[in-house]
Amino acid sequence: MGIHEFATWQIQCAVEQSGSEHPILAKKPLLTVAVPVFNELATLLEIHKRILSVPLDLEILYVDDGSTDGSREVLMEQIAGTDARVRVVLHDVNQGKGAAIMTAIEHAAGELFIVQDADLEYEPLDYVRLVEVFNKPAVQVVYGSRFLKRRHPENMKLTNWLANRILTITTNVLVPGAGISDEATCYKVFRTQMLKLVPLHARRFDFCPEITMKVLRRGHAIHEVPISYSARTEAQGKKIKWTDAFDAFSALLRYRFSRDY
Ligand SMILES: Nc1nc2c(ncn2[C@@H]2O[C@H](COP(=O)(O)OP(=O)(O)O)[C@@H](O)[C@H]2O)c(=O)[nH]1
Ligand SMILES: [Mg+2]
């Protein structure tokens, strides 16, 4: 089966799956791990191994966002089909991290949903503590905070640290009572059923501010758990730049007052 036939097959499976039933697994997984992938050849197999080692009932949903460095081939040849928990969806052209997450939300079949970058900045074993918070039925949203273990996370550039502080403070000012310590964290966990109801538009790095504002405006508290984090450098493939914070900042304002939420 070629890459495109495989992609069509995957999408057919997703269309045929009624409601939120999983197309392969017999029972609904606890956690959908959504992995947006754009040119992450150096870390893809290692992050895959680390995700597989998490002692939770997972489904792992890779969305290749038009990679051209061989990540797509690794996904197809060395990851897809090797484990019933794994599904791969392909974007023909690069659309942005937010777009890749939105594709994952459409396909997600788990009770809970988390975003996992295809790099090694975060520690997948932290899912366990994040998921535990959902033992309380009223909890809808849990963020892993990089700033609760240490004030300045490992290897985080000063400009990025400052951008993170500004985005978090802005959120807390725009939504009094939000009380969060890390708005832009990748480890955002939601009840999937609730997440699928949120109207989302962001295609790029504005996914974080959009979802943060919208869940808060929908009246959900954001609970937090301390997590490990070690930033990668641009040379190691980090793509977000501190200038992306301008977009994130204006997205926070826009989605604080948008009509739909
Ligand atoms: N930068 C970027 N990342 C993308 C895109 N599509 C998917 N991704 C993935 O989204 C994540 C972005 O990670 P990174 O550059 O480290 O930014 P971070 O959000 O600061 O961790 C990686 O897993 C990328 O492979 C895209 O169009 N641009
Ligand atoms: Mg990352």
pLDDT for 201-239, tens place per residue?
A: 988 889 999 999 999 999 999 999 999 999 988 888 787
Distance (angstroms) between ligand 1 centre and the Cα of 100 equals 9
Is the pLDDT confidence value at 10 over 70? no
Residues 105 and 138 in one domain: no
Q: What is the pLDDT of residue 27?
A: 84
Domain co-membership, 83 together with 62: yes
Residue 110 has pLDDT above 60, yes or no: yes
For ligand 1, atom 20, name the residue with the nearest CA: 240
- Higher pLDDT: 16 or 46? It is 46
Judge if the beta carbon of residue 156 lies within 6 A of ligand 1: no
Say whether both 100 and 132 belong to one domain: no
* pLDDT, average across residues 245-261: 95
Residues 46 and 87 in one domain: yes
For position 238, what pLDDT does the model report? 81
pLDDT-based confidence at residue 156 (cuts at 50, 70, 90): very high
Domain boundary among 67, 94, 119: 119
Do 149 and 126 share a structural domain?
yes
**pLDDT at position 64 over 50:** yes
Whether residues 130 and 56 fall in one domain: no
Domain CATH code at residue 212: 3.90.550.10
252 and 125, same structural domain? yes
Q: How many domains does the chain have?
A: 2
101 CA distance to ligand 2 centroid (A)? 13
The alpha carbon of 27 and the centre of ligand 2 are apart by a number of angstroms equal to: 30
Average pLDDT, the chain: 91
Q: Say what the pLDDT of residue 169 is.
A: 98
- 94 and 8 in a common domain: yes
Cβ of 184 less than 6 Å from ligand 1: no
Q: Which of 76, 92, 119 is the endpoint of a domain?
A: 119
Query: Do residue 137 and residue 155 come from a single domain?
Result: yes
In this structure, are 129 and 245 located in the same domain?
yes
Centre of ligand 2 from the C-alpha of residue 122, in Å:
8
Residue 72 in contact with ligand 1 by CB distance below 6 A:
no
Q: Would you say residue 2 has pLDDT above 80?
A: no
Return the pLDDT at 7.
38
Q: Give the per-residue pLDDT at 13.
A: 44
The neighbourhood of ligand 2, an ion, using CB within 5 A, equals 117, 119, 121
Do 160 and 225 lie in one domain? The reply is yes
Tell me the average pLDDT across 150-174: 95
Host domain of residue 253: 121-261
Answer yes or no: do 230 and 172 share one domain: yes
Q: Could you tell me the pTM of the whole model?
A: 0.90
Q: DSSP of the chain, one letter per residue? A: --HHHHHHHHHHHHHHS-TT--SSSSS--SEEEEEEESS-TTTHHHHHHHHHTSSS-EEEEEEEES--SSHHHHIIIIITTSSTTEEEEEESS---HHHHHHHHHHH--SSEEEE--SSSSB-GGGHHHHHHGGGSTT--EEEEETTTT-SS-BT--HHHHHHHHHHHHHHHHHSTT---S-TT-S-EEEEHHHHTTS-----STTHHHHHHHHHHHTT--EEEEE--BBPPPTTTT----TTHHHHHHHHHHHHHH-S--
Structural domain ending residue among the three candidates 96, 119, 142? 119
Kindly report, residue by residue over 82-94, the tens digit of the pLDDT: 999 999 999 999 9
